[in-house]
Structure formats: C-alpha cells, structure tokens
Structure 1
Amino acid sequence: MNPIVTVRDAAIAFADWIEPTDAELDAIEQEAPLILAEVDLLDAQIITLDRVPSEVDTRRIRRARNRVLAARRTLANRAAVVPGGAA
C-alpha cells in the first residue's frame, strides 16, 4: 500500500531548505530601495498606458527614472566598497 502524502506534508519536509538565509535577507534589505524605486517607475508607466501622457505624467516618469538611477548608483557604490580596505 502506498502512503498518501499531502502537499502540506511535502512542503513541511523541505521547510528548512526553503527559508532564506541571513545573507540572502541582508542582500534583499540592501536592494530594497532599488526595488521600491523600480516599482514607483512601473506604477508611473502603467498610469500612462491607456492615455497620452500629460506634462505631469512625463515629470512623474522622469523623476521615477532618476530615483531608479540614484538607487542603482548607491547600490553599485556600496558593493564597490571593500571592507577594511582603503577607500
């Protein structure tokens, strides 16, 4: 007789391997400003999908792009810093 395994049982069996590590959580936390800036840019772009962008929409998209670029720059500069090394 074959035992019946539920989805819950299968998920619990691998629960330890599914959870993110502390290093992964730290990486997500460092990238959070970039992720939020990209979401804001996407929201601004979605607003203009069904209409001709107004001047306000154009400014909103431009500012959101600038926030994304600034967040990317900050993230890249943070990754370039070597702990304990000369700056």
Structure 2
Amino acid sequence: MDHIVTVQDAVTAFADFMEPTNAELDAIEQEMPLIVADVDLLDAQIVVIDRTPTMLDERRIRRARRRVLAAHRDLANGLAEQTGGAA
C-alpha cells in the first residue's frame, strides 16, 4: 500500500528565493505610472469593443493613448538620467 503524503514542505522549501528582490520591487514601482496608463487605455478600448465609439469614447481613448506615450517618455527619460546616457 502506498501512503499519500503531503508535499507542502517540498513545495514551499524555496519560497524565500522566489520572492522579488528589492531592486525588482523598485523597478515595478518606477514603472507603475506606465502600468496604470496602460490599464486606463485598455479600459477605454474595452468599453467600445462591442459598439460604435461615440465622440466621447474616441476622446477618452485619445487621452489614454497620450497618457501612455507620456508615461513611456517619462520612464525613458528617467532611465536615461539614471544611467547618464540615452535609454
């Protein structure tokens, strides 16, 4: 007869090594404005996915796209300043 044993110890034995490092958390924090802008753009696009966009919908999508581009620009400029060169 085979005994069924829990593998919890084997699965969680390396959990400490699977956590993000402080550097990775800092990078995520730095990219958060871009992530939020991308989510806003997706929200605007999802709203009109099954209907014809109104003028207000089109304006919302354009603004969201501009926020994404601005967040990309700010992130690239921030990285360039940190490294001392062009990103």
TM-score (norm 2): 0.86
Cα deviation for residue 17 of structure 1 reads 1.2
**For each residue in 1:27-73, what CA deviation from the matched residue of structure 2 results, as whole angstroms up to 9, or x when unmatched?**
00000000000000000000000100000000000000000000000
For 1:10 and 1:45, the matched residues in 2 are separated by 44
Partner of 1:45: 45
Q: Which runs of 4+ in 1 moved over 2 A?
A: 1-6, 8-11
Partner of 2:81: 81
Structure 2, unaligned stretches of length 5 or more?
A: none
RMSD: 2.0
TM-score (norm 1): 0.86
Count of residue pairs the alignment pairs up: 84
Structure 1, unaligned stretches of length 5 or more?
A: none
Identity %: 63
